[in-house]
């Protein structure tokens, strides 16, 4: 039947006297009501202004989908969000004289679908992190890290899944007004595994000028999370004599002797100041000075390791942060002390971590430069003492498949496999007037590296959101990885901006926010995002806590 001769099926519901014979006018009039109420497959749409409508029957049949965040029409998302007490973040657009959405449609649908489960974890770090993690798909997302004081963390990566990261030591010093009642770790800078499977951790203490102050030093921690304690007071105690004080400890190393020796590198500024110490196990009763800064000749050391021949190797940036690095390696013979002429690297750009291979070769984690390029690992073949061969490992990795930004620590598994701890910030060392706007700012993670495949593969091995500013990593014989995390506020560039040192006080935590230049934001957008984050934290934090946001003034 042609459209001109089509009659409504509603005629059959009317008395025959109204439709028997010729009744085209009534039959065609009823088509209007049939189209609106139950719909007619006539390729015509019900137009209303700039949008179309379904038939009433179809709308009723799909009524349940209005309550489904993945199927409800976009114009109903704000209404549906109100059912779960969710308000989407917005920013003021002076051009439109109105607030506009920060989150796109997909992110708003995702938030509505997940918010009830997040509410069930209110008061827990997991719930707060998941709420803040809703920002991770936004085109202007910052790097948000919740620092609840986890100094030492651990994980056991497994193939085929993201391993959870848990806290081993989440409490440090307990400060009562101006007095430290119970000492402990504050801001770990490095971590090693001792021959007895205890953990040795170098700690930066509280920032300079903070009161009450906790000193810098070396802590010994059992795998159970207990500190080595004083035999007289029963309280946690640093290694070494009471007179052993450090300025800026950056690295530690141990040898294979019996008893084994602990070496501590202190980044002192004065040329004649003591910079390298030796402490002997098991009591560490004395700290012998091995060399001064002038004797070692370093510029800005970033890592230290024991060579296969028993020498100490110092990976030296050469220049202070904020300047162009001149990477080199300093070789130190211990007994008698002899410092070789530093070897200057040709392929290393921004050295961050050092691993010595069984054959004496080196792997150097290289941030490359402060530009928005992936990091790399440089293999250094030292078989020829006068001419080392440096090879970048990831030059053949296709674009977009190298997520590394700042490899601050490496753990060798075998000849071709590594675990790499990546900070996610570039540059690593903050400088300038805007330390919270970095060239790149992503979440810190642990990655599995397979150098044996062609090209090498880089796979994330752990869950995200648990690390703040990790600095070191080590693995024990049971394949558990231990991670040292210094937190954000120990950065000397930020000392003047720290209002509180939450790791030295009970019931406090911090939230650090970094913006990436790869996702440009205006100062107005940054201010609004800071406010949105503050609103979320105030809503989701444990009731008994206070918190501090660490961010740059826009």
Angle ∠(181,150,476) on CA atoms, nearest 5: 110
Burial class (CB in 10 A: 0-12, 13-18, 19+), 487: buried
Where does residue 236 fall: left (phi above 0), alpha (psi -120 to 50 degrees), or beta otherwise?
Answer: beta
Kindly report, residue by residue over 134-167, the tens digit of the pLDDT: 766 677 889 999 998 899 999 999 888 899 999 9
Query: What is the rounded CA–CA span in Å between residue 81 and residue 85?
Result: 6
Q: Using an 8 Å Cβ cutoff, are 220 and 473 in contact?
A: no
Higher model confidence: residue 175 or residue 358? 358
Q: Using an 8 Å Cβ cutoff, are 404 and 421 in contact?
A: no
Q: Is 82 helix (H, G, I), strand (E, B) or coil?
A: helix
Confidence of residue 508 (pLDDT cuts 50, 70, 90): confident
Tokens found for residue 490: 């120990």
Tell me what the pLDDT averaged over the chain comes to: 86
Number of domains observed in the structure of the chain: 3
Q: What is the pLDDT of residue 516?
A: 93
Q: What is the pLDDT of residue 401?
A: 95
**Helices and strands: H and E segment counts in the chain:** 8, 36
DSSP secondary structure string, 279-291?
EETTT---EEEEE
Domain-embedded: residue 527: no
Whether 280 has a pLDDT exceeding 70, the answer reads yes
Query: What is the rounded CA–CA span in Å between residue 33 and residue 332?
Result: 93
Q: Using an 8 Å Cβ cutoff, are 129 and 540 in contact?
A: no
**Which letter does DSSP use for residue 343 in this model?**
E
Kindly report, residue by residue over 471-484, the tens digit of the pLDDT: 999 999 999 999 99
Query: What is the rounded CA–CA span in Å between residue 231 and residue 228?
Result: 9
Q: Is 263 helix (H, G, I), strand (E, B) or coil?
A: strand
Confidence of residue 1 (pLDDT cuts 50, 70, 90): very low
Kindly report, residue by residue over 335-390, the tens digit of the pLDDT: 899 999 999 999 999 999 999 999 999 999 999 987 899 999 999 999 988 889 99
Q: Same domain for 149 and 123? A: no
Domain-embedded: residue 120: yes
Whether 12 has a pLDDT exceeding 90, the answer reads no
Q: Same domain for 110 and 40? A: no
Where does residue 318 fall: left (phi above 0), alpha (psi -120 to 50 degrees), or beta otherwise?
Answer: left
Kindly report, residue by residue over 368-379, the tens digit of the pLDDT: 987 899 999 999
Percent of residues, the chain, with pLDDT higher than 70: 88
Q: Same domain for 120 and 161? A: no
Percent of residues, the chain, with pLDDT higher than 90: 47
Confidence of residue 499 (pLDDT cuts 50, 70, 90): low
Q: What is the pTM of this model?
A: 0.85
Q: Same domain for 11 and 41? A: yes
Buried b (16+ CB within 10 A) or exposed e, 88-107: bbebeeeeeeeeeebbeeeb
Q: Is 13 helix (H, G, I), strand (E, B) or coil?
A: helix
Kindly report, residue by residue over 97-121, the tens digit of the pLDDT: 777 777 788 888 988 888 888 888 8
Of 61, 79, 100, which marks where a domain is finished?
61
Q: Same domain for 466 and 495? A: yes
Whether 267 has a pLDDT exceeding 90, the answer reads yes
Q: Same domain for 380 and 443? A: yes
Give the count of alpha carbons within 13 A of 504, CB side only: 26
Query: What is the rounded CA–CA span in Å between residue 387 and residue 382?
Result: 7
Residue 218 parent element (H or E): strand 217-221
Higher model confidence: residue 171 or residue 350? 350
**pLDDT (average), residues 455-481:** 94
Domain-embedded: residue 523: no
**What's the domain range around 129?**
67-139+537-550
Q: Using an 8 Å Cβ cutoff, are 431 and 322 in contact?
A: yes
Q: What is the pLDDT of residue 39?
A: 66
Q: What is the pLDDT of residue 144?
A: 92
Burial class (CB in 10 A: 0-12, 13-18, 19+), 51: exposed
Burial class (CB in 10 A: 0-12, 13-18, 19+), 485: buried
Domain-embedded: residue 529: no
Residue 132 parent element (H or E): helix 125-132
Q: What is the pLDDT of residue 88?
A: 82
What CATH number should be reported for the domain holding residue 476?
Answer: 2.120.10.30
Q: Same domain for 109 and 165? A: no
Q: Same domain for 151 and 80? A: no
Confidence of residue 255 (pLDDT cuts 50, 70, 90): very high
């Amino acid at each position: 039947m042609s459209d001109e001769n089509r009659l409504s099926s509603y005629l059959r519901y009317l008395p025959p006297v109204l439709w028997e014979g010729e009744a085209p006018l009534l039959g065609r009039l009823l088509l209007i009501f049939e189209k609106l109420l139950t719909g007619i497959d006539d390729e015509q749409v019900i137009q209303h202004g700039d949008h179309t409508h379904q038939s009433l029957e179809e709308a009723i049949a799909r009524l349940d989908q209005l309550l489904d965040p993945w199927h409800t029409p976009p114009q109903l998302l704000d209404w549906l969000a109100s059912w779960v007490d969710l308000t989407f973040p917005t920013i003021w657009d002076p051009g439109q004289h109105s607030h506009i959405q920060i989150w796109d449609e997909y992110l708003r649908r995702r938030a509505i679908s997940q918010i009830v489960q997040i509410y069930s974890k209110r008061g827990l770090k997991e719930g707060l992190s998941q709420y803040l993690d809703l920002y991770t798909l936004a085109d202007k997302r910052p790097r948000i890290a919740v620092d609840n004081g986890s100094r030492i963390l651990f994980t056991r990566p497994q193939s085929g899944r993201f391993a959870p990261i848990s806290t081993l030591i989440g409490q440090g010093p307990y400060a009562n007004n101006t007095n430290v009642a119970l000492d402990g770790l504050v801001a770990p800078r490095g971590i090693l595994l001792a021959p007895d499977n205890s953990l040795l951790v170098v700690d930066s203490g509280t920032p300079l000028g903070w009161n009450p102050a906790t000193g810098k030093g070396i802590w010994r921690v059992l795998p159970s999370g207990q500190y080595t304690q004083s035999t007289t007071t029963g309280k946690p105690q640093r290694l070494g004599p009471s007179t052993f004080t450090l300025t800026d400890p950056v690295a530690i190393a141990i040898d294979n002797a019996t008893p084994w020796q602990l070496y501590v590198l202190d980044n002192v500024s004065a040329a004649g100041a003591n910079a390298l110490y030796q402490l002997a196990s098991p009591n560490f009763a004395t700290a012998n000075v091995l060399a001064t800064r002038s004797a070692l000749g370093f510029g800005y050391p970033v890592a230290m390791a024991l060579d296969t021949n028993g020498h100490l190797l110092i990976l030296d940036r050469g220049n202070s942060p904020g300047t162009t690095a001149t990477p080199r390696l300093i070789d130190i013979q211990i007994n008698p002390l002899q410092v070789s002429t530093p070897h200057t690297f040709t392929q290393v750009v921004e050295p961050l971590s050092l691993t010595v291979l069984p054959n004496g070769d080196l792997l150097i984690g290289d941030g490359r430069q402060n530009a928005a390029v992936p990091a790399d690992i440089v293999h250094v073949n030292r078989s020829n003492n006068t001419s080392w061969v440096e090879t970048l490992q990831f030059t053949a990795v296709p674009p977009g498949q190298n997520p590394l930004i700042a490899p601050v620590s490496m753990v060798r598994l075998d000849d071709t496999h590594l675990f790499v701890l990546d900070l996610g910030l570039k540059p690593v060392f903050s400088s300038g007037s805007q330390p919270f706007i970095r060239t790149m700012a992503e979440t810190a993670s642990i990655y599995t590296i397979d150098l044996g495949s062609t090209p090498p593969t880089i796979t994330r091995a752990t869950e995200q959101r648990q690390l703040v500013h990790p600095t070191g990593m080590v693995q024990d014989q049971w394949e558990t990885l231990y991670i040292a995390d210094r937190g954000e506020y120990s950065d000397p560039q930020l000392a003047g901006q720290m209002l509180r040192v939450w790791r030295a006080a009970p019931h406090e935590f911090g939230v650090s926010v970094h913006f990436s230049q790869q996702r440009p934001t205006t100062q107005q957008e940054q201010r609004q995002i800071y406010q949105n984050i503050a609103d979320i934290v105030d809503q989701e934090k444990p009731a008994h806590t206070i918190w501090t946001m660490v961010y740059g003034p826009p």
